[in-house]
Amino acid sequence: MTSESQKVAIVTGSSRGIGRATAERLASDGFAVVVNYAGNEAKARDAVAAIESNGGRAIAVQGDVSKQDDVSRLFSTAKETFGRIDVVVNSAGTLPMAKISTENLEAFDQVIATNLRGTYLVLAQAAEHLDAGGRIIAFSSSVLGKSFPAYGPYIASKAGVEGLVRVLANELRGRDITVNAVAPGPVATEMFLDGKSDELIEQIAKQAPMERLGQPQDIASAVSFLAGTDGAWVNAQIIRVNGGFV
């Protein structure tokens, strides 16, 4: 059990990449953290160990965000363990490269299930469990502004996420709970780098005026702002954290 004054954050998809950086940053900000993972228990436990080694508190909870029962169990476990939930960050996501073709319908269904249905389920549980002062943070993507070939299913899922964020902010009117999304540009994670040549990675990195890929910590810093006291007046926004990748 946490102390009554310690706030608690759930971060989905936080065994690696942006999610893990976010979990570690929120822990350093003073939150007790629920590290959610879909399948890689070893990496989730590594994330918990890293947080605990720096004096933080964390637990790992398995759950597929596309499954209603798993998401319900994630929230109930967080509440049972720590007694409260203050911040929910939905970082879980998948990025299959697939052109718009009937041959790729399975890939489309997969990314919609994880990225859009998953966001819907996590946001719904967050709306049910958070009290005044709560923060809900989803993930979109700056690639929405690019319309690259083979990103159709992914972009469709993230466009849906942006719509859900704005609607939920209105549905929570009067409850003092903010709902926002962070939309990263290209970030040097396993998910982004997978299947890309060095030449393509270099080409993408040069597109932003900062001429580099983002790092997971760059995105975690933006989440930290939205989750902290300084982000209290930011609501129903899509924050594009991308080094000028527009």
Residue numbers annotated as active site: 154
As given in the structure block, the two tokens for residue 143 are 């690639």
Q: Are 33 and 60 in contact (CB under 8 A)?
A: no
Torsion angle, CA of 9/11/15/16, rounded to 10 degrees? -120
Q: Are 240 and 185 in contact (CB under 8 A)?
A: yes
Q: Are 144 and 155 in contact (CB under 8 A)?
A: yes
As given in the structure block, the two tokens for residue 128 are 């049910």
Residue 118 CA to residue 18 CA, distance in Å, equals 17
